[in-house]
Structure 1
């Protein structure tokens, strides 16, 4: 008898039989793959993923022998040996998935533990032939009926491979979790009702929410009602790609949610995924959705508490995987970040990739779509196009400043070439009624460009105004300016920064809104985190020079509700002489300058924004829109395959390492200052509670910091991994409270002094 997982010590009576595990994972993976059209390939991946456990060596390991056994290569090797030429491409995808189901998807060649090297070093002689009688497999007809594009075939096939991998690792995790839950009385991470089952109550909740607002009063509310009605009228349109271009204050959030609910009801979508650029507003949006759809129906996921630490050989036993805080996005409504969405779409790690198959059949709303990094725009757009083309997704590019991604904009000489890598088929897919007219009706600020303003000049300007917002390009500038303003004795000074955890920022913003409402002194210094969608309404805004999209977003924080005269609602764009902008922003400033010449009468008009993005993308060119060569690292031989040869050359692992929407050296630290956070930290020692549940409770208390700084803080006793025997190295918690300050957040620059309790002998 061969076993997949060991149970209690002293016999094998409660161990999991290998044949049962393989067939259960295969069936579950196939079920997950039905919406993808990949059920046969997924079944085979599940059936063969642990084939290497049919060896005496692995069974000795299960019994307690301290030996290392590679059990992943056997299944991949067998699939590649058996598949015919017609199914070779799909067989290779299955092989990538099986090889990666513990250590993460490998590269085909060149990197450590590549597919080529692992297959070449395996001969199958250690496998007990009994597996042939226990596992019946049909390796024919594996390819899905997709809309293939010859020019994008390699990218499409590699994307299909990640989806297949997702089905395998999620099915493997769930079957293992079920086994140990029964054996060890563990709690299983929660299950969710389907979107389709909940839609009647969701739609009723939305109607109740709108009814509670009463009949629209005033020009602005009538305009919002008009936009909402028009957007909902488009819900019957065929699924696919859409844009929703509505200026700040026009009600984009509610309009996009209403469209998603109506569209899902008509077309059968499985979930709604709302992706937001910054964590500064994710809880704001999630709170709105919960109030409408119900507290228990919205998954908020933005935390980086999902790191998967591997040993030197890339092994992690299945029981150890239960320690990981992995989200599967099975909720009917998911509110997440661009970072989570896009980095997952290019992920190689099991913890990130597990959720991918649940993205299929979703309505994905990209709030502030213009914030996708230019250097990753081409692969990001290709992924969106593939989701719409072959995975039954509807995608709404929702923003006040629509980037010029319509492929027609690249065909008339504006950009690089007719088949520009960032082009999408968007003709006739705008959901808003007449965006240029909306922009005129919702105009509420005056843009004023000035020359240099030092910190002393900004402090003097704030001294004149009781309420004002200054947005700068760096955390260092923001902190310096805040301290100078405080030193000058200005009342109501507030510093908003990513050094503060989400719950703290929420409290700060609630206080800011309260002060603004009651006319109290309120002077806020922030970086760009406040720009994209944060619901604040200042009479005056100062913005350090940047790209036109940033200026437009900053303008959305001024006279947001349109209660003040436009001529008095001034957004001042200034040069910061002592804080040169980063090189990326310098280029955007140049693009902005050219728009000033061309659109001096109205820099915020949709045509000005469109021309600006056309200028940005033209200057970037093909290389600048894929600076890490993500797309070109997925290659394939279309000229036929010979037995024993590989056709694909997919760099899954190295691409995943390079596809980073934010600094890749940032890591999480939990700040447990309030009772809720401390209670969640205390529960980390309870083995039976899933890590994913605790990660959801703690994600709002996370500060991201440089990895080197966190390492120093750990070494000096300021940060500690809590209960690593139960949770692995995931939950790093601040121990020295004085390093987190109420006004400026986490101060990791002081990480190199020892905590007092360590200094005492």
Structure 2
């Protein structure tokens, strides 16, 4: 009998996809994707065997629409494990992880759950038509050689190395399977998808021309601009160095964002990388950075991908080119968040892992690298190391306060960074770019903070929480302070951009401007205040805040101060409190907190002295390869690797004409979800998942057009909960009604 992979519409099955055709095409596509990874044979065999379970007679009932369940994803892995010689068992296990996971996600090797690899292999008893043997033979020796090239000899690294090879094979298989299935149904339904992005190497001359033209627009009219130009020139001159790991240590205001982009473009030209990925720790500023890249390189070349709108939950209908590119990161330049990048690299779900093979061969710029979370540091650095060692990635750790992730300082699992600094003499740059002093203000309650702002017609005050910012703003408002501005992630990005533009205008014109903000202002927001106050936090955050004072160096250093204070009535979160305690210890030893020696001392205190257990050693060493077998807990790692402990979800605030128009288009089936999602990113506020559910239960918000869009677009239905002065109020939503007002 004939066996089919996918059903069509014809009763005589003339338009159904034969299984052998599907397996051959997925094998071809998987080999193609894994070719540059030098894993083509392994990926091809995974593609050839991934749907062997469809050779079961019972699967034909599934295709006929009968309500039966057939596990078609396990048979291929079981067949490989039975075929493999004993010494090739780990090779078969590597392929089995990918094959078993291509629908349900990468499994753990051995747990009490029946979904683990061992239990599924044991339970896979459905007989297959002998026709499946037409897909033999399998050259396990060749597969073993290929995989061996991705595993270092050191036992401490071998398990993690091999687990990443599984992830890359899984990515190639999943993308190949999706693409062939998609192509079959597109042809059947007469549909065309625009997935075409230009290759980076082909457009590189144009990108270089655009970048150079953009940089030529900066006049060398000041000492600071001349220094920025010197830094850029020095960084670009090092682009011919061998690809791998680099640091870029430039103090705030030194132009490191554009310097890193210039290096990336030149490095790609020298070494043939396939794309540039720029990762940012803060969702609150990604739209601003992406806009800079679009202006410099052209919007048609840049993909912006983060979680402001939950695009993974979009339905099939009307998926745009941008939405499709978010699946596989096929764009030449990707601007994303650390969360999206690293949680994908440690994920188990097919939808998140599909892009991994396109991360290989990239130049990856990690902006504000000091923000990599401490509890996940060792597995994160291990992943960076593997990408550079085995998958042709260049990774640039870009920061004003380099956290010494090198192996000399971090003996538990640091990176080989000696001699890989791109900046010209970071120690000297720290002195040349010093434009502000940091002083200790001691204990300051809200009353004292308001009085301090009263004495500063232009000044900023940064605190550790949205709730403290709001309380302090209310207190300053009650005191009648002029030029009062509140900036917080309670406000949606389009609103924040207008506020920031207004702040810049006020500062430039000498008008009163007293800003109360959360930490979102500390990185990537180019503001230039005469003075500022910062609630105690880690020294890295304090230094970032200091970068908003006298940023352009137009005022005397002695008059440009950032005052660090403690707020006993608004204690910081436990993690921030620990970092603040270490900052106080460093301040007791170093009179100048901007001294590079002080920064090294603080990082020693908070990173290297806490011990490997506090830096994620258990996760980094959880991937076990004994040489005879593997034990990879992919699902457990995916669950545990969370850069944000409390997931935030988007609420669309549609009170402006542009947002209202986009929300109105949600009910039009022909309009792509991706296009609407991108347009609405600027009108979303991220709030706790539980808080959004309370809004929904109490009629304050709802998912729009769920029959078309699923639960992707949650819109605020009570506009009075959004205020122009402080943004969205979601607290106590179960008690508030429209006529009660807010606070």
The interval holding the TM-score normalised by the smaller chain is over 0.9
2:546 equivalent among 544, 547, 555: 555
RMSD between aligned residues: 2.6
C-alpha distance 18-518 of structure 1, shift in aligned 2 (>3 A): farther
Question: What is the CA-CA distance between 1:684 and the residue it aligns to?
Answer: 4.1
1:235 equivalent among 228, 235, 239: 239
Corresponding residue SS for 1:404: coil
2:715 equivalent among 730, 733, 736: 733
- d(CA) in 1 for partners of 2:384, 2:488: 30
Q: Are 2:469 and 1:478 equivalent residues in the alignment?
A: yes
1:179-218 counterparts in 2 under 5 A? Answer: 179-214=184-219, 216-218=220-222
- d(CA) in 2 for partners of 1:557, 1:716: 41
C-alpha distance 204-71 of structure 1, shift in aligned 2 (>3 A): same
2:623 equivalent among 620, 634, 637: 634
CA contact 1:540–1:571 (8 Å) conserved in 2: yes
Higher mean displacement: 172-181 or 162-171:
172-181
CA contact 2:318–2:669 (8 Å) conserved in 1: no
The aligned residue for residue 261 of structure 2 is 257
CA contact 1:277–1:532 (8 Å) conserved in 2: no
- d(CA) in 2 for partners of 1:744, 1:325: 35
CA contact 1:87–1:141 (8 Å) conserved in 2: no
C-alpha distance 91-728 of structure 1, shift in aligned 2 (>3 A): farther
CA contact 1:324–1:351 (8 Å) conserved in 2: no
CA contact 2:488–2:520 (8 Å) conserved in 1: yes
2:412 equivalent among 405, 417, 420: 420
CA offset digits 1:450-507 (Å, max 9, x no partner): 1111111111111222221111112211111112112222233222222223233222
The aligned residue for residue 650 of structure 2 is 668
2:678 equivalent among 688, 693, 696: 696
CA contact 2:289–2:524 (8 Å) conserved in 1: no
Q: Are 2:60 and 1:62 equivalent residues in the alignment?
A: no
Question: What is the CA-CA distance between 1:368 and the residue it aligns to?
Answer: 0.6
CA offset digits 1:265-295 (Å, max 9, x no partner): 0010111111111022212221221112111
C-alpha distance 587-108 of structure 1, shift in aligned 2 (>3 A): same
Q: Are 2:307 and 1:303 equivalent residues in the alignment?
A: yes
Question: What is the CA-CA distance between 1:19 and the residue it aligns to?
Answer: 2.0
C-alpha distance 190-675 of structure 1, shift in aligned 2 (>3 A): farther
CA offset digits 1:555-587 (Å, max 9, x no partner): 011111111111111100001010122222222
- d(CA) in 1 for partners of 2:715, 2:500: 24
- d(CA) in 2 for partners of 1:682, 1:6: 36
The aligned residue for residue 428 of structure 2 is 437
Q: Are 2:609 and 1:607 equivalent residues in the alignment?
A: no
C-alpha distance 719-70 of structure 1, shift in aligned 2 (>3 A): farther
- d(CA) in 2 for partners of 1:687, 1:67: 31
- d(CA) in 2 for partners of 1:212, 1:430: 27
Q: Are 2:583 and 1:592 equivalent residues in the alignment?
A: yes
The aligned residue for residue 246 of structure 1 is 250
1:267 equivalent among 261, 271, 280: 271
CA offset digits 1:635-671 (Å, max 9, x no partner): 2223x3xxxxxx2111111111111111243223333
CA contact 2:175–2:328 (8 Å) conserved in 1: yes
Scaled by the length of structure 2, the TM-score of the pair is 0.93
C-alpha distance 183-224 of structure 1, shift in aligned 2 (>3 A): same
The aligned residue for residue 413 of structure 1 is none
Higher mean displacement: 256-265 or 747-756:
747-756
- d(CA) in 2 for partners of 1:531, 1:319: 38
Scaled by the length of structure 1, the TM-score of the pair is 0.91
Higher mean displacement: 448-457 or 481-490:
481-490
1:620 equivalent among 585, 592, 610: 610
The aligned residue for residue 287 of structure 1 is 291
- d(CA) in 1 for partners of 2:698, 2:615: 41
Question: What is the CA-CA distance between 1:346 and the residue it aligns to?
Answer: 0.6
C-alpha distance 514-743 of structure 1, shift in aligned 2 (>3 A): same
Question: What is the CA-CA distance between 1:753 and the residue it aligns to?
Answer: 4.9
CA contact 2:718–2:738 (8 Å) conserved in 1: no
1:450-599 counterparts in 2 under 5 A? Answer: 450-599=441-590
- d(CA) in 1 for partners of 2:129, 2:706: 37
2:116 equivalent among 114, 117, 120: 114
The aligned residue for residue 415 of structure 1 is none
- d(CA) in 2 for partners of 1:665, 1:65: 38
- d(CA) in 2 for partners of 1:531, 1:317: 39
CA contact 2:318–2:672 (8 Å) conserved in 1: no
Corresponding residue SS for 1:749: coil
CA contact 1:684–1:723 (8 Å) conserved in 2: yes
Corresponding residue SS for 1:748: coil
CA contact 2:305–2:326 (8 Å) conserved in 1: no
Question: What is the CA-CA distance between 1:224 and the residue it aligns to?
Answer: 0.7
C-alpha distance 264-91 of structure 1, shift in aligned 2 (>3 A): same
- d(CA) in 2 for partners of 1:741, 1:111: 51
CA contact 2:667–2:705 (8 Å) conserved in 1: yes
